Chains A and B, each alone.
Chain A
Amino acid sequence: MGTVKSTTSAGRMKSKLKSKSPLDRMLEVFVYLSMIVVTVLTIYPFLNVLAISFNDSVDTVRGGITIWPRQFTLRNYEMIFSFSGLITGFKISVLRTVIGTLAGLISGSMLAYTLARREFQARKFISTFLAITMYVSGGLIPGFILMKDLHLINTFAVYILPGLVSAFNVFVIRSFIDGLPYALQESAKLDGANDFTIYWRVILPLCKPALATVALFLAVGQWNSWFDTYLFNGSNESLTTLQYELMKILQSTTTSATNSQDAANMAQRMAQVSPESVKMAITIIVTVPILVVYPFLQKYFVKGMTLGAVKS
């Protein structure tokens, strides 16, 4: 008896120490509920689109699809893959993502390395020169005229060249290099390595986390951009990107058929599949590559964002 009593009183003591005030408990409930709401609000639209893309399009018109297809089918996807415009778009999108990312990584890291060399005379000048571009830009029309004067309109190069050097990315890599021990560079120099060798052999391999961050930014930016296609290459069918094709199809019902003759044609070709379902299926195809990549790079870009924000 006595022992039982003592344990319960001890337990009560413990729980009293641990127990939270009602206010804290309310806060906790509120926080957890909000987090659940946020998660649902974020994920639900994607699941809904996914379900519709796998649902029979005639059945979809009846409405009421939530997160699970009612009549499963792959027809919507089969339809898309038979459309050649999207295949070209896919190729161009992959190509610009790969080339744009590689080119941006090399140029960004090289410039960042020179800016991280303390004794480099032009370092301050170049840093300022770059930083200014983060706040002032010529704007849409002067940019367009420049591309026209450089004969970059209707070329693939217009996807790669203008954004090759981005101040933000350079500063992210620079601050990462600043965090490496400087003695590494000095000892390599004593061993007779020139500055380029130090960059290529010493710095670049150590920069992988920063490079991963920047690669993600570059790749996502390239994959997602559509406006440059619209502005510069919209009339050239062999150079349009996947995002641009998706944009045309999505806009085809919201605007009257002014800018999307192709989309109307396409919808006609797919008479047996409703455009709604096709839209959703393309949306999924455009989104999946990103979904696959980003969770793995999460630890890198969180670090990179913080670095970039502190420096710039």
Chain B
Amino acid sequence: MKAITLKTENGYKKTEQSKRTAWKVFKNQKYLYFMSIPFVLWVFVFQYLPLWGWTMAFQKYRPGASFFEQKWVGFEHFRTLFQDDHFYQVLRNTLAMSFMGLIAGFIIPVAFALMLNEVRSQVMKRFVQTVSYLPHFVSWVVAAGIVTKMLSTDGGVVNSLLMSLNIIDQPIQFMAQGQWFWGIVTGADIWKETGWNAIIYLAAISGIGPELYEAARVDGASRLRQMWHITLPGIRPTIIVLLIMSIGHLLGTGFEKQFLLGNHLVIDYSEVLDLYALNYGLAMGRYSFGTAINIFNSVISLILLFAANGIFKRFTNESIM
């Protein structure tokens, strides 16, 4: 269907003959169309139709009523949102955890890849790498359970260690005090994803020509200098592309961690935008209000993506678009 309309649009300006050849090409490629159009429609339904759902944010949406029966209210829900003090707390939490995650998720995998690259024993290198992927493959449910267990006050390894080193004399209630929450989420993220995120950097490092290192060695450069002057510049484009992409996903860092690690004691620090939409939109049947929160999230993300892309394009000539 889509293909045919596309075709007529294309053929519109062209002569009769080219129209006929275009039709011939289409007939030639009919299998390709059969094999792709169903999935294009699929993507349209499951990825694009929800965007149409954004209209809900400008309505007083009633479930069950058709689109034409909805009452339009303009920006009312956004006004409610921006006047809600709670919203600013949630925004603060989202931004804080996103930035902490961005910085940690950017520096630590690069450092890990650089160090792993310096390991000369192939066996050890492989072993460490295989182990480091492991947490990526377990679900956040499991990871959150493990983190909670490790930080618990009765028999958690972190508290036991701190007590046996005499750093503290009372176990710290990590999961019950809001001040720890952002750090715990960031730490859990580092634990889970560092090894996985380092894969791309390691691949980029292995693409650097060995002759560069040989030349540096002949010149008497130490390994540290080789890291600084050869390896790091060699993976610079990769680092920048990934940085731009993660800035684009800054507010979309998800809510799984916060949902699973948080509890009512630390909610002032754990609630992020998506959870806010879940708790104050969906759970309370305020679909329009919740959608407004989702839209705010998406729009800010896009702005950040384009801004990051633009800035890096200007200053480093690297970009993803």
Contacts and interface: CB of A to CB of B under 8 A. Distances in A.
Interface of A: 20-21, 23-24, 27-28, 31-32, 34-35, 38-39, 41-46, 48-49, 60-61, 63-66, 107, 110-111, 113-115, 117, 119-122, 125-126, 129-130, 133, 135-146, 148, 150, 161-162, 164-165, 167, 194-196, 199, 220, 223-227, 243, 246-247, 250-251, 254-256, 279-280, 283, 286-287, 290-291, 294-295, 298, 302, 305-306, 309
Contacts of B222: 21, 23-24, 27
B119 A306 contact: no
Given A113-B35, A137-B252, A146-B50, 15 more contacts: A23-B222, A43-B134, A45-B150, A64-B155, A135-B305, A136-B51, A137-B50, A138-B298, A141-B53, A142-B54, A142-B294, A145-B56, A224-B137, A227-B259, A305-B203
Nearest to A34: B115
Interface stretch (B68-76, B79-87, B208-216, B276-284): B276-284
Nearest to B34: A196
A42 B135 contact: yes
B47 A137 contact: yes
Nearest to A117: B32
B6 interface: yes
A138 B224 contact: no
Given A49-B146, A283-B146, A246 B141 contact: yes
Given A23-B222, A142-B50, A306-B200, A41 B191 contact: yes
Contacts of B130: 295, 298
Chief secondary structure at chain A's binding surface = helix
Interface stretch (B38-46, B89-97, B99-107): B38-46
A63 to B, nearest CB: 4
A294 B40 contact: no
Nearest to A286: B142
Contacts of B45: 146, 150
A217 B52 CA distance: 29
16 contacts: A31-B119, A38-B194, A42-B135, A63-B160, A107-B42, A110-B35, A117-B32, A121-B29, A139-B291, A140-B282, A142-B294, A224-B139, A255-B263, A295-B130, A302-B199, A305-B199
Contact of A38 (B7, B132, B144, B203): B132
Contacts of B124: 32, 35
Interface string B2-37: 010011000000000000000001100101111110
B118 interface: yes
Given A142-B54, A165-B42, A247-B260, A254 B148 contact: yes
A218 B297 CA distance: 27
B40 A140 contact: no
B137 A138 contact: no
B295 interface: yes
B35 A196 contact: yes
Q: Which of A111, A167, A291 has the most B CB atoms < 10 Å from its CB?
A: A111
Contact of B149 (A27, A45, A162, A295): A45
A125 B53 contact: no
Given A38-B132, A141-B56, A122 B36 contact: yes
A63 B155 contact: yes
A302 B294 CA distance: 34
B169 interface: no
A183 B138 CA distance: 41
Q: Please provide the 7 A-B residue pairs with the shortest distance between their CB atoms, ordered closest to farther.
A: A138-B50, A139-B294, A142-B53, A224-B139, A195-B31, A63-B155, A142-B50
A269 to B, nearest CB: 20
A35 B29 contact: no
A72 B142 CA distance: 23
Interface in B195-251: 195, 199-200, 203, 222-224, 238, 241-242, 248
B183 interface: no
B290 A135 contact: no
B58 interface: no
A135 B6 contact: no
Q: Which of B43, B132, B147 has the most A CB atoms < 10 Å from its CB?
A: B43
A287 B142 contact: yes
B131 interface: yes
Contacts of A150: 45
Contacts of B271: none
Contact of A24 (B128, B223, B305): B223
Given A250-B141, A306-B203, A309-B200, A129 B277 contact: no
Contacts of A133: 43, 47-48
Contacts of B56: 141-142, 145
A48 B195 contact: no
Contact of B148 (A39, A107, A250): A250
Contact of A141 (B26, B52, B191, B290): B290
B312 interface: no
A255 B264 contact: yes
Contacts of B311: none
A119 to B, nearest CB: 7
A194 B155 CA distance: 65
Q: Which of B36, B52, B200 has the most A CB atoms < 10 Å from its CB?
A: B36
A145 B54 CA distance: 11
Nearest to A295: B130
B282 A144 contact: yes
Given A111-B35, A148-B63, A224 B46 contact: no
A146 B142 contact: no
A188 to B, nearest CB: 13
